[in-house]
A = this chain, B = another copy of it.
């Protein structure tokens, strides 16, 4: 199918009403938006360019909001993401923190304001691997467990542009389910 470069908020491209042919087109595209305009035209009784025109209009008018891939959540389930509080003897680049950061599962280490402990973000394949990692972490001299952590099972991570978290309304991809 085509890629429409002109935005949705164009200067009002004649918002005709959705007729029977349009509904047939929508019925096809809801099922499978990867059909060619030739096949689409065949199914609804139009020539390829005519079908193309219809779809373009349906997109511009917002009747077709989007054309999106529908993802199987099970297939894209990501490994576990855990935020773990740990106690160390100090802050900064102490030997304990150096040792912790050696583990590839540890992605971030934060000094938490108003608290005497560190917060680390770790990512593992499953709970078993998470437990193994934590026990290994707690074996590090000077590191003690606070038994305070959050474990999340993420689906699909999406990059967030710097700054947009302060925008309002929220950017579209923040409002959509993360799969």
Give the B-binding residues of A (Cβ under 8 A).
1-4, 18, 22-23, 26-27, 29-36, 39, 61-72, 75-76, 78, 156-159, 172-173, 176, 179
Contact = CB atoms under 8 A, between A and B. Distances in A.
Given A1-B34, A18-B76, A173-B31, A26 B65 contact: no
Contacts of A22: 76
Contacts of A26: 69, 71, 76, 156, 179
A158 B173 CA distance: 31
B76 A32 contact: no
Contacts of A33: 33-34, 67-69
A121 to B, nearest CB: 17
Contacts of A179: 26, 30
Given A23-B156, A76-B18, A71 B30 contact: yes
26 contacts: A1-B1, A3-B34, A3-B35, A3-B36, A18-B75, A22-B76, A23-B76, A23-B78, A26-B179, A27-B157, A27-B158, A27-B159, A29-B68, A30-B68, A30-B71, A30-B179, A31-B66, A31-B173, A33-B33, A34-B67, A63-B71, A63-B72, A64-B72, A66-B70, A67-B68, A67-B70
A62 B75 CA distance: 8
A103 to B, nearest CB: 19
